[in-house]
Amino acid sequence: MTFNVVLAIDTSTEQCSVALKKADQWATRAVLAPREHSQLILGLVQEVLTELAITLADVEAIVVGHGPGSFTGVRISVAIAQGLAFSHNLPIIPVSTLTGLAQQAIRLHDAPQVVSAIDARMQEVYVAAYRQQQRFAVPLCAEQMAGLVDLTTLPWWSELDPTQMVMGAGTGWQLAEAPLNQQGQVHVLDDVTLPLAEDLLRWGVAYGKPIAAADLEPLYVRNEVAWQKLPGRG
């Protein structure tokens, strides 16, 4: 299904961001305000709608960053997306914030491979690995929690192509590059630290799966989630 007018929102991390795509027109906003997401998000939505001279009634789908991230931020992101979707009977396209980071690294740096890592507190990170395919991030493993250890020792590392550069995106790298990157095999990107709604939207309309608002759930990643290859990856 093709959508011409799509709104994306994300409050899963310290950054509150929205993006609106109307055919080939874009409007975006991003504010670093960790404790003000609930007060800011609807105002940002209205700003992008006004910029492209449309109303919420013109929107055909909503993309949402549904985690992982801060517990409160993820809940706000999901609740706002559901509220907007219910009010206008819109489908929702959930996208992982880790996927959004990988997509941002590809958009800004043409990254051939990306390991996204977000600070999960308590000496842990949310992490996932991706490979670029025709300017889009293709996940190589499920989102998971990892301790501050050399990531090359984890099972999914073997899914990466050793002949291509691996770039690191997300706050997890700023938190603990030394323990995570002990072999120096990851080129950490200092300008790709927090997900943006723009990248969630780009990935969502290309690869995301629309669902009913009632079926949207936060993406919480727990310690007990074991690594596994994604279906079709052998």
Whole-number pLDDT of residue 34: 79
3-state secondary structure string across 85-147: HHHHCCCEEEECHHHHHHHHHHHHHCCCEEEEEEECCCCEEEEEEEEEECCEEEECECCEEEE
Query: Are residues 85 and 26 both part of a single domain?
Result: yes
Same domain for 11 and 73, yes or no, is: yes
CATH number of the CATH domain containing 88: 3.30.420.40
Low-confidence ranges of the chain (pLDDT < 70): 1, 223-234
**Residue 142 and residue 207 share a domain:** no
CB 76 within 8 Å of CB 13: no
Within-domain flag for 101: yes
What's the pLDDT score for residue 67?
Answer: 96
What local confidence, expressed as pLDDT, does residue 231 receive?
53
Establish if 232 belongs to a structural domain: no
Q: What is the pLDDT of residues 204-214, one digit of tens each?
A: 999 999 999 99
Give the integer Cα–Cα distance in Å for 225 and 176.
22
- What is residue 230's predicted lDDT score, i.e. its pLDDT? 55
**Are residues 146 and 210 located together in one domain of the fold?**
no
Instruction: Tell me which residue of 205, 207, 201 sits closest to 17, measured CA to CA.
Output: 201
Domain of 101, in residue numbers: 97-188
Domain count along the chain = 2
d(CA 158, CA 154): 8
Does any domain span residue 199?
yes
Residues 129 and 182 reside in one and the same domain: yes
Q: HSE-up of 166 (CA within 13 Å, CB side)?
A: 24
Question: Both 53 and 108 in a single domain?
Answer: no
Q: Are 66 and 98 in contact (CB under 8 A)?
A: no
Q: Does residue 231 sit within a domain?
A: no
Mark whether 161 and 207 lie in a shared domain. Answer: no
Same domain, 66 and 123: no
Residues whose CB falls within 8 Å of the CB of residue 215, separated by 6 or more in sequence, listed in order: none
For residue 232, the 8-state DSSP code is T
